[in-house]
Structure 1
Amino acid sequence: MPFYHKPKAFTQLPTAAEKKSVKNGPHHAVFTSRFDKYVGDWKNDLKEGKGLFLTKTGKLYEGDWHLGFRHGFGTLSHRLPNGSFYLDYRGCWVRGKPEGVGWRYYENGDVYFGFWKSGKRHGYGKMWYKNGTYYVGYWNMSEREGMGMFVQENGNRYEGHWEDDLKSGLGRFYHLHTGQLQEGVWECSVCVKSKVSDIVIRQFCDLPTEYPIPPETLRNSLIILERSAIWLKQKIGEIDQKLKHCIDQM
């Protein structure tokens, strides 16, 4: 008779070693095969909880993890030649990509604050450009689309509809350097039909018109405008109270 009986609870050595190698709880430092470094919490061999991840190329993420993905709130930075880190993004993440509300700091000096979806600017947001211009309104996959306001360096501003990152549809343009308001229709950022009127602050502007705009003499001008093909096909777009308040305060 055999003198050895295999115990019922016997576990083969490779299986036991594999179970022991599964990471759970906090770990001081774990390196990948590419020499990336992770310090933080684990669950069932996946990053879960709080953690810091530094890649060999100098990308640094600090924040929440879920099922191995950047998920929750966190910051992303990159290392500069002098060894310091430059903040790229801080805000919400979903499965490894910015999604929700967050700040984005671009290397060229532009700054964005607003909503994200799958790593793209999407929904309501504000953009401060390095050249001094400013946009507040709606975005669609990183392009301006819907209702929005764009302020130029000299203070002139456009309020109206956007499509494919261009002024498109009904809008109004304030020529604050001359004291005039232009209302009409834009196509590919070019005004194709509009009316111009003086605004009440005209006399305080830098380059006011010498005389008030002469009164309109065209008969039935409103009917002509309302029946024009360009005017009838325009989309007004929706606007929420937050954006309306922001525009009205400018």
Structure 2
Amino acid sequence: MPFYHHPRTFVPLSVAAEKKARKNGLRHAIFTSRFDRYVGDWKDDLKDGKGRFLTIGGMLYEGDWSKGYRHGFGLLSKRAANGTFTLVYRGEWVRGKLEGPGWMYFENGDVYLGFFKRNKKCGYGNMWYADKTFYGGYWKNDLKHGLGLFLLENGCRYEGHWEKDIKSGIGRYYHMNTGQLQEGCWVDDVCVKSKMSDIIIRQSCKMPTPYPIPQHQLQSPRALLEESELWMLGKIGEIDKNLLFCIDQM
């Protein structure tokens, strides 16, 4: 009577060759089909660990990788015509996208330091513009959105709420050339209701007003604002409690 023999486990040659060819550990140079070049760590055929990736277009990434994505801390640079590299971004990445705190350097000279989400400025951040203006505050989808401060080259500044990159809501504007403070409401980048007063250093400004602004005050400023259709329908966003002081003084 014949006995049953269990067949031996057989591994096809193609599978065995694929396992041997799987990239793990450090590789000195791996080229893609479009001649991009990667030098760094691998795990199960995916970039994982530390590595440097240079594209055929001249973009260079140096930093952390995880499961084939730029993930962790990394630097992104761009190659110039003379062969040198200029830093574009340094900071955090999440699955191939800018996300978290980082620095960004623009070709026109602008510099941004703050938070990103899915490759866009989002959250709190500071922006130094090439025209010597400055913005420090909140962003959403690459636009100023929320509370923020905008400083002009001549020293004048706006402190208040922004919506989609324009002044919108409650804010203060310091006219440092004349020494006056404007407090009120902005709609579509235009102040529609405000109170003007002198700042303490008015006489030290470049072109101070010849006479101080006399003090006047309404008996019930808050009641007047609450009855205003503009105030009731306006979108003022999240207002800092410290800024509410200007409403009571109007």
What TM-score, normalized to structure 2? 0.89
Aligned equivalents of 1:87 and 1:8: distance in 2? 58
Task: Give aligned-pair identity as a percent.
Answer: 60
Listed as ranges, the matches of 1:110-189 within 5 Å are 110-189=110-189
Q: What is the CA distance between 1:224 and its match in structure 2?
A: 2.7
Aligned equivalents of 1:197 and 1:206: distance in 2? 17
1:85-129, CA deviations, whole angstroms, 9 ceiling, x for partnerless residues? 010000000010110000000011000001110000000100000
Any unmatched runs of 5+ in structure 1?
A: 242-250
Aligned equivalents of 1:27 and 1:238: distance in 2? 53
Any unmatched runs of 5+ in structure 2?
A: 243-250
Q: Is the 8 A contact 1:170 1:234 kept in 2?
A: no
In the other structure, the counterpart of 1:203 is: 203
Change (3 A) 1:7 1:36: farther
Q: Is the 8 A contact 2:170 2:239 kept in 1?
A: no
1:102 lines up with 2:109 in the alignment: no
1:72 lines up with 2:76 in the alignment: no
Q: What is the CA distance between 1:215 and its match in structure 2?
A: 3.5
Aligned equivalents of 1:224 and 1:11: distance in 2? 85
Q: Is the 8 A contact 1:24 1:42 kept in 2?
A: yes
In the other structure, the counterpart of 1:237 is: 238
Aligned equivalents of 1:220 and 1:94: distance in 2? 52
What TM-score, normalized to structure 1? 0.89
Task: Figure out how many residues of one structure are paired with residues of the other and give that number.
Answer: 237
Q: Which amino acid aligns with 2:160?
A: G
Aligned equivalents of 1:29 and 1:222: distance in 2? 69
Aligned equivalents of 2:217 and 2:36: distance in 1? 73
Aligned equivalents of 1:49 and 1:70: distance in 2? 10
Aligned equivalents of 1:140 and 1:90: distance in 2? 20
| RMSD value, Cα | 2.1
Aligned equivalents of 1:6 and 1:58: distance in 2? 57
Aligned equivalents of 1:240 and 1:110: distance in 2? 31
Aligned equivalents of 1:12 and 1:200: distance in 2? 86
Q: What SS does structure 1 have at the residue aligned with 2:127?
A: strand
1:2-24, CA deviations, whole angstroms, 9 ceiling, x for partnerless residues? xxx99724432222211111100
In the other structure, the counterpart of 2:216 is: 216
1:36-60, CA deviations, whole angstroms, 9 ceiling, x for partnerless residues? 0000000000000000000011000
Q: What is the CA distance between 1:214 and its match in structure 2?
A: 3.1
Q: What SS does structure 2 have at the residue aligned with 1:19?
A: helix
Aligned equivalents of 1:215 and 1:226: distance in 2? 23
Q: What SS does structure 2 have at the residue aligned with 1:20?
A: helix
